[in-house]
Structure 1
Amino acid sequence: MANYGYFSGNPKTEWLVDETGADRDMKLLEDFFYTDPNNRIWPALMDSVVNGASIPAALWSTVGSPYTGDYRRASIVHDVACDSPIVVRKDADVMFFYACLAGGCGLLQGRTLYAGVRIGAWSASSLPQAKLSQDRMLFRKRLDLPVLEEAFLQGKLSEISREMESLPEEASIEDLDAVIGRHLII
């Protein structure tokens, strides 16, 4: 059986009320950890606030929102890692891939989620800052129509995901990055 690492248990959280109506933030009520396959510990300490922003909102209709699915625990440690000034985003994204698998995601879903956070990293550094909203959500919606950028990112994720389906089960992170690199310049 493959070693994808393990979680310290289930996170204990509290929803935070946002007076503006977003209500996406959760605060950790106790320390929560993920230990990756190399035995590196990724902490999400008590009082950390997470909101799943590292999964671009533009991709939620494709991969799911941060609070559903077998990647919920992975999204918590990934959010905290992405907010840390001492963690390299790429390292956090690789950790997220393995944490998704440790949380119960299938291989293709884990690969797609990994592509989603890599697209998030790319878009945060490549798209004009005016596109970023105040609360770290990537894109604003106008009425119920997806904006051009959302459609673009969804298309990229779809292309990448289709190509990843053809990779062998033993494909490495470098193999996944090569597929992503053919579609994005990171």
Structure 2
Amino acid sequence: MSPDVQRYLQHPWEKAMRILAFLLVLVGLSASPAMAAPEFFGEFRDPLEGRFVDAQPRPMFKLAAQFRFVDPNGLLWIVPPGKEVDGASIPQAFWSFIGGPFEGAYIKASVIHDHYCNEKSRTEHDTHRNFYYGMRANGVEEWKAKFMYWAVATFGPKWKLDKRVAQNLKCNPMGDKIFCSGLPEVKLTISSLPTIDLNDPDTLALALSKASTVARSLKTSNGKVLDISASGQVGASLDDIAKNADQYRSVFSTKDYGKSAAKLGVLSQWNVSGLDQVKAWDNSEMPRYNAAVVLTPDTVKKVQSGKYFKLDANSGALLGDQLDLKSLEIKSGHSR
């Protein structure tokens, strides 16, 4: 018997361990992020064809041909030819963040989003979520797309769809009697709900201050952290964003910012004219609610210089004074 055979018979577990180690290496390679398939966000099926037409209060974009998008769930979103959209589904206060709704990589997603916000044939949740998918499918960075999704989910159009099943009766006379038959018919009722009043100076100032915190947190974390609340960091999954948006809708609707101070979390002065100019938090460290300065007459200069802040019961009166609308370059229409 050869020495190799004798050694194998004495230690058969050695070969088994070598095989196991080899299999573990294969499993590790298959799970490697470098080999993982890129996430699929959907695809646009058609080129976007159309032109801008004069209209009030802003120009409209009129589609010359059908425009389709298939989301990652396989749902088809269609804008028919001849439809006109104006970007109003994105709150105008946020237009300057992206240069306008019909600029660059945002235009395709904006057209789909605008149309379905007008038609309201699908739920508000699905329509706003699809806006995120459209941006990502067209190459918008994750943190920017999540910011814009948060903006429309918080401040954009809001509606409720109610489905009711009714009997659709058809009656026919037969002799001296009438016979009726019916089939169930689904009827859709659309209820438009109030949006946040961004014409109110205090609400606008607070909305943009909250938006600044969201944008800086998303950029610093590369899209992983959405916000800083009184209880800590808020995750940036799509479900987290939708939940956070619902919470802020409630706060902004009341306009009682003194009583809601803690619910607003960390705030930050918005002093840039677009998402490309947003700066990460200092030293790439997320702020802490307990370390935020309270907005008072004595801390105004710190806030204006970029120090993150929070409100107390007396801070509300100072909000509108801290916002320079001209610096935001808020646009009233599309620049052509």
TM-score, normalising length: structure 1:
0.78
Matched, 1:97 2:139: no
**CA 1:152–1:64 in 2, change beyond 3 Å: closer, same or farther?**
farther
SS of structure 1 residue aligned to 2:250: coil
Letter in 2 for 1:125: P
Matched, 1:74 2:127: no
Find the partner of 1:45 among 80, 85, 95. 80
SS of structure 2 residue aligned to 1:105: coil
Q: CA deviation at 1:40?
A: 0.4
Matched, 1:17 2:54: yes
Matched, 1:177 2:233: no
More strand by share: 2
Matched, 1:153 2:207: yes
TM-score, normalising length: structure 2:
0.45
SS of structure 2 residue aligned to 1:14: strand
Counterpart-to-counterpart distance in 1, 2:117 and 2:157: 13
Q: 1:123-149: CA deviations, max 9, x gaps?
A: 87244xxx5xxxxxx75xxxxxx9444
Give the gaps of 5 or more residues in structure 1. Answer: 132-137, 140-145
SS of structure 2 residue aligned to 1:15: strand
**CA 1:152–1:161 in 2, change beyond 3 Å: closer, same or farther?**
same
Q: 1:41-84: CA deviations, max 9, x gaps?
A: 11111111101101111112234310112111000000011112
Paired-residue identity, %: 25
Q: Which one is further off, 146-155 or 41-50?
A: 146-155
Q: CA deviation at 1:26?
A: 1.2
Q: CA deviation at 1:171?
A: 5.2
Q: 1:10-48: CA deviations, max 9, x gaps?
A: 211121112x5x442111111001110011011111111
Which one has a bigger Cα radius of gyration?
Answer: 2
Give the gaps of 5 or more residues in structure 2. Answer: 1-37, 159-192, 226-234, 252-336
Equivalent residues, number: 169
Check the 8 A contact 1:7/1:34 in 2, yes or no: yes
Matched, 1:168 2:214: no
Find the partner of 1:125 among 173, 194, 213. 194
Check the 8 A contact 2:87/2:114 in 1, yes or no: yes
Higher relative contact order (CA 8 A, sep 6+): 1
